[in-house]
C-alpha cells in the first residue's frame, strides 16, 4: 500500500528509542512517517530513565570519591553538603539539551512530524486507523500502510495496604524532588531500586532497602552477597527476603510495616518512600481490540519473532512487547520493524548474548547463562570466581570490592556466561559478549591478548583460573 493511498507509510505511537529508530530507518528508505506522542518527546531514556539517572549517579559518585579520597596515601579530600536544587537543575538542563539534539532536532532533520496528542486505534482489523486527540480536544484521523506501537512501559507498584493513600515516589519523581530527603525507604532491589538507593545515600540520605528476595536476584548469588557488603560499608541497610505489608503517612513522613522470611515484623520509618518494583507495558486506552491486536497477562503487546502483531499491518517495539527493558533492545526492535515492514526482510529478534548492566558502584554486568540457568538447561557446569584482589587494575585503584565469575560447560570448556561486579563492568562485559557470540572456550579466552592494567584483564585471569593458580602469577605475567 502506498503513502498516497493511505496518508503515510508509517504511523508511530510513542517517541522513545524504538520509535525513533524505526522512524529514522523508514525515512532512510524514503518512506513517509508521522509520530504521535501524548507526553514529552524522547520517551523514558532521555527524559526520566538512563540519561537523568546516570547523570545523577555520576555526581553522587564524585561526592563519594571526595569522601573516600583518603584511601590513597597523601591525598586528603572532603565534601560539603549537596546543593540539591542546583544538582537537579543541572540534570534537567542536560536532559533538555539532549532531547533537543537527539530527538526533536533529529525528527526535523529527517523530515517527519511529531503530533502532540493521545492516539487510539479505530476502524477494523482490515482497515485500521488512528484517532489522535490533541490536548485542546480537537481530533484528527491518521491512516498509514503500517503502524508501530512503541509506547514503552511505566512504573508499577504492588498492592500494599495503605500505599495508595500514603503516596510514593517513583524513580522519575524522586529525581525531580525539591529537596534531598533526610531518609529514604526503597521498596525493590532490582537495578532501578539499587541505583536509586546508592544515589541518594551518596548524596546524604539515610537509605533502607526492602528486598523481596535478595539484591539483584537475577544475578549470581556471589554478586548479590558482595553487593550487600558494599551497601553495608556505605551505610545502606538492606532487608532481604522481606515484604512490605502496610504503609501510612503521618506528620513525620512514612511509617511502614514489613515481614521477614522467618516471620519477624519490622517497623520502618523514612521521610519518603520510593517504590521500584518493576515496570509494566503501557497499552491502556490504545483500542487494540478494535484492530485485532492481542495483549498478554501484563498488558504487553503480543508479537511474533518478527515483531508483527496478529494484525499484519501493526507492529510493536521496545518495552511494550514485554521483551527485556533496555533502550538498546528498543532501538534494535525499531530498525528491525522498518526492514520487515518495508523490505519484507523477515528479520527476527535474537536476544542471545544480550548484556545487562546495573550502574551501581561497583557496577554489575552480565551476559549469557548463570550457573543455575546452565544447570537447568542440562549443562554440567564448571565455574570460576575470581575476587578482584587478584586483578592488578583493582589493586592500583585501591578498591578490590567485587568479583568476576565465569560459567563454562565442563565437557567442552565452552563459555556459557560471564558475570562481573567491578568498576567499569559494563565495558568489561562487551568482551564477553564477543566471546559468547563466537562460541569461544575458556581456554581460548585465556590465550587472547588483553592489555595490562585494564579491568577487562580480569576476564582473561578468570579464564586462566581454569588451568592454573592465578594467585601465583606475577602481576604482569600472563
* Rounded Cα–Cα distance for residues 407 and 9 (Å): 46
State how far the alpha carbon of 143 is from the alpha carbons of 19, 116, 314, 329, in Å.
17, 16, 12, 27
**3-state class (DSSP) for residue 391:** coil
Max intra-chain CA distance, the chain:
74
Q: How confident is the model at residue 426, as a pLDDT?
A: 97
Q: Point out which residues pair with 12 in neighbouring strands.
A: 35, 148
Residues of the chain with pLDDT under 70: 1-6, 69-70, 476-478
Q: How confident is the model at residue 477, as a pLDDT?
A: 57
Contact present, 63 and 202 (Cβ < 8 Å): yes
Task: For residue range 287-328, list pLDDT tens digits in order.
Answer: 999 999 999 999 999 999 999 999 999 999 999 999 999 999
Across all residues in the chain, what is the average pLDDT?
Answer: 95
Give me the CATH code for the 163-277 domain, please: 3.50.50.60
Q: Which residues of 446-462 are buried (b: 16+ CB within 10 A; e: fewer)?
A: beeebeeebbbbbbbbb
For 437, how many CA atoms within 13 A lie in the half-sphere containing its CB? 11
Q: How confident is the model at residue 135, as a pLDDT?
A: 86
Contact present, 390 and 459 (Cβ < 8 Å): no
CB atoms within 10 A of CB 230: 17
Task: For residue range 387-431, list pLDDT tens digits in order.
Answer: 999 999 999 999 999 999 999 999 999 999 999 999 999 999 999
Q: Which residues of 399-438 are buried (b: 16+ CB within 10 A; e: fewer)?
A: bbbbbbbbbbbeeebbbbbbbbbbbbbbbbbebbbebbee
**Fold match between domain 3-155+280-343 and domain 356-468:** no
Domain 356-468 adopts which CATH fold?
Enolase-like; domain 1 (3.30.390)
State how far the alpha carbon of 236 is from the alpha carbons of 220, 276, 436, 442, in Å.
21, 16, 35, 36
User: Domain spanning 3-155+280-343: which superfamily?
Assistant: FAD/NAD(P)-binding domain (3.50.50.60)
CB atoms within 10 A of CB 12: 33
The domain limits of the chain are 3-155+280-343, 163-277, 356-468
With residue 282 as reference, give the H or E element that holds it: none
- 118-123 and 128-133 strand pairing: antiparallel
* Rounded Cα–Cα distance for residues 176 and 191 (Å): 19
DSSP 319: G
**3-state class (DSSP) for residue 416:** strand
φ, ψ for residue 141, nearest 5 deg: -105, 130
Q: How confident is the model at residue 478, as a pLDDT?
A: 59
Q: Using alpha carbons, select from 396, 322, 402, 327 the residue that is nearest to residue 365.
A: 402
For 460, how many CA atoms within 13 A lie in the half-sphere containing its CB? 18
**Cell of residue 246, nine digits:** 502496610
CB atoms within 10 A of CB 201: 22
Burial of 468 (0-12, 13-18, 19+ CB in 10 A): exposed
Contact present, 457 and 429 (Cβ < 8 Å): no
Go through the chain and tell me how many residues it has: 478
Q: What is the chain's Cα-based Rg?
A: 24
Q: How confident is the model at residue 77, as a pLDDT?
A: 84
Q: Using alpha carbons, select from 317, 320, 323 the residue that is nearest to residue 340.
A: 317
Helices first, then strands: H and E counts in the chain? 16, 22
Contact present, 23 and 33 (Cβ < 8 Å): yes
Q: What is the 3-state secondary structure (H, E, C) of 192-248?
A: HHHHHHHHHHHHCCEEEEECCCCCCCCCCHHHHHHHHHHHHHCCCEEECCEEEEEEE
* Rounded Cα–Cα distance for residues 6 and 244 (Å): 52
Amino acid at each position: 500500500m502506498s503513502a498516497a493511498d493511505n496518508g503515510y507509510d508509517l504511523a508511530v505511537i510513542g517517541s522513545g528509542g524504538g520509535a525513533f529508530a524505526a522512524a529514522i530507518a523508514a525515512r532512510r528508505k524514503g518512506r513517509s512517517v508521522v509520530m504521535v506522542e501524548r507526553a514529552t518527546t524522547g520517551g523514558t531514556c532521555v527524559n526520566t530513565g538512563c540519561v537523568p539517572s546516570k547523570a545523577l549517579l555520576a555526581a553522587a559518585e564524585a561526592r563519594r570519591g571526595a569522601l573516600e579520597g583518603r584511601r590513597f596515601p597523601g591525598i586528603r579530600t572532603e565534601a560539603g553538603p549537596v546543593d540539591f536544587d542546583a544538582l537537579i537543575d543541572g540534570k534537567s538542563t542536560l536532559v533538555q539539551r539532549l532531547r533537543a539534539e537527539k530527538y526533536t532536532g533529529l525528527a526535523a532533520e529527517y523530515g517527519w512530524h511529531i503530533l502532540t496528542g493521545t492516539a487510539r486505534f479505530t476502524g477494523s482489523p482490515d482497515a485500521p486507523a488512528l484517532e489522535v486527540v490533541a490536548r485542546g480536544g480537537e481530533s484528527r484521523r491518521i491512516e498509514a500502510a503500517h503502524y508501530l506501537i512503541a509506547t514503552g512501559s511505566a512504573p508499577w507498584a504492588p498492592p500494599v495496604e495503605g500505599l495508595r493513600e500514603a503516596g510514593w515516589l517513583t524513580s522519575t519523581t524522586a529525581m525531580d524532588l525539591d529537596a534531598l530527603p533526610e531518609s529514604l525507604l526503597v521498596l525493590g532491589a532490582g537495578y532501578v531500586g539499587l541505583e536509586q538507593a546508592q544515589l541518594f545515600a551518596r548524596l546524604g540520605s539515610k537509605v533502607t532497602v526492602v528486598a523481596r528476595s535478595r539484591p539483584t536476584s537475577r544475578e549470581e548469588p556471589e554478586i548479590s552477597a558482595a553487593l550487600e557488603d558494599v551497601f553495608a560499608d556505605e551505610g545502606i541497610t538492606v532487608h532481604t527476603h522481606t515484604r512490605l505489608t502496610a504503609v501510612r503517612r503521618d506528620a513525620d513522613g512514612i511509617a511502614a510495616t514489613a515481614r521477614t522470611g522467618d516471620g519477624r515484623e519490622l517497623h520502618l520509618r523514612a521521610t519518603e518512600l520510593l517504590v521500584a518494583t518493576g515496570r509494566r507495558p503501557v497499552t491502556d486506552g490504545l483500542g487494540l481490540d478494535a484492530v485485532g491486536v492481542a495483549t498478554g497477562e501484563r498488558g504487553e503487546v503480543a508479537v511474533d519473532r518478527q515483531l508483527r502483531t496478529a494484525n499484519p499491518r501493526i507492529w510493536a517495539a521496545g518495552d511494550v512487547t514485554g521483551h527485556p527493558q533496555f533502550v538498546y533492545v528498543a532501538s534494535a526492535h525499531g530498525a528491525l520493524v522498518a526492514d520487515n515492514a518495508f523490505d519484507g526482510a523477515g528479520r527476527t529478534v535474537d536476544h542471545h548474548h544480550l548484556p545487562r548492566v546495573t550502574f551501581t558502584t561497583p557496577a554489575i554486568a552480565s551476559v549469557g547463562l548463570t550457573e543455575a540457568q546452565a544447570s537447568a538447561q542440562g549443562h554440567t557446569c564448571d565455574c570460576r570466581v575470581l575476587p578482584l584482589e587478584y586483578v592488578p587494575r583493582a589493586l592500583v585503584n585501591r578498591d578490590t570490592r567485587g568479583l568476576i565469575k565465569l560459567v563454562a560447560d565442563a565437557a567442552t570448556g565452552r563459555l556459557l556466561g560471564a558475570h562481573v561486579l567491578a568498576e567499569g563492568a559494563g565495558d568489561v562485559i562487551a568482551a564477553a559478549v564477543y566471546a559468547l557470540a563466537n562460541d569461544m572456550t575458556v581456554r581460548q579466552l585465556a590465550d587472547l591478548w588483553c592489555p595490562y592494567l585494564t579491568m577487562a584483564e580480569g576476564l582473561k585471569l578468570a579464564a586462566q583460573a581454569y588451568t592454573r593458580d592465578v594467585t601465583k602469577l606475577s602481576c604482569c605475567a600472563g
